[in-house]
Amino acid sequence: MDGRGLTNRFTHWAEMGAGFFLAFVMLLTFTSVTLRYLFNISIPDAYDLGRNMLGVLIFWGIAVTGFRGEHITVDMVWSALPPKGKRMLDLIAIVFTILCMVTFSWAMTGRALDVFHTGEATYDTSTPIWPFYTVAWAGTVAAVILLIVRLVRFVQNPAESETAPVAASH
């Protein structure tokens, strides 16, 4: 299996994981609200579990959208540039995004270690929350790796990057 196929499989599983967490958060929220308003019953730690899972899916979503170049962009300046200017701006944007994600991943490393060492847990069931922080941190590391792959593909395939997003050609 070549690097492109492996990367595409990884991003597929990252998307599936984020989708699973999103579905779980949605189901948990719907069930919690329904039980609370209809039967005056609450699910223990529903809020804590939901917000921690939401954090996980956001970080993994950042990894995939950054790789595919499908995040929200403003192309007013980019569209006015000639092809070489567009390519240069794209290159600057990818490198800047990598630097930001490296910084964010570094900060998230400290936060995940703090949560682990302090033993933070949910209120109702005392479920440790460090696993959520660790999986979210892994999403930031995945974002850095996938952005570096995107940069390499961008540099290696100049013609491809002018017509389509870097990761769109499979």
Q: Say if 169 falls within a structural domain.
A: no
Share of the chain above pLDDT 90, in %: 46
Q: Say if 32 falls within a structural domain.
A: yes
pLDDT of residue 33: 93
Q: Say if 168 falls within a structural domain.
A: no
pLDDT digits (tens, 9 = 90+) for 8-57: 888 888 888 888 888 989 999 999 999 999 999 999 999 999 999 999 98
Q: Say if 125 falls within a structural domain.
A: yes
Range of the domain at 132: 3-70+80-163
Q: Say if 146 falls within a structural domain.
A: yes
Taking the CA atoms of 22, 24, 29 and 30 in sequence, report the sign of the dihedral they define: positive
pTM here is 0.81
pLDDT of residue 2: 65
Q: Say if 170 falls within a structural domain.
A: no
pLDDT of residue 139: 92
Coil/strand/helix, residue 53: helix
Please, where are the H alpha helices in the chain? Answer: 3-39, 46-68, 76-80, 83-118, 130-156, 158-163
Which position has the token pair 């941190």? Answer: 137
Q: Say if 132 falls within a structural domain.
A: yes
pLDDT digits (tens, 9 = 90+) for 46-61: 999 999 999 998 998 8
User: Nearest-5° angle of CA 83, CA 61, CA 133?
Assistant: 135
Q: Say if 75 falls within a structural domain.
A: no
Coil/strand/helix, residue 120: coil
Q: How confident is the model at residue 163 (pLDDT cuts 50, 70, 90)?
A: very low
Segment 157-169 mean pLDDT:
52
Total structural domains within the chain: 1
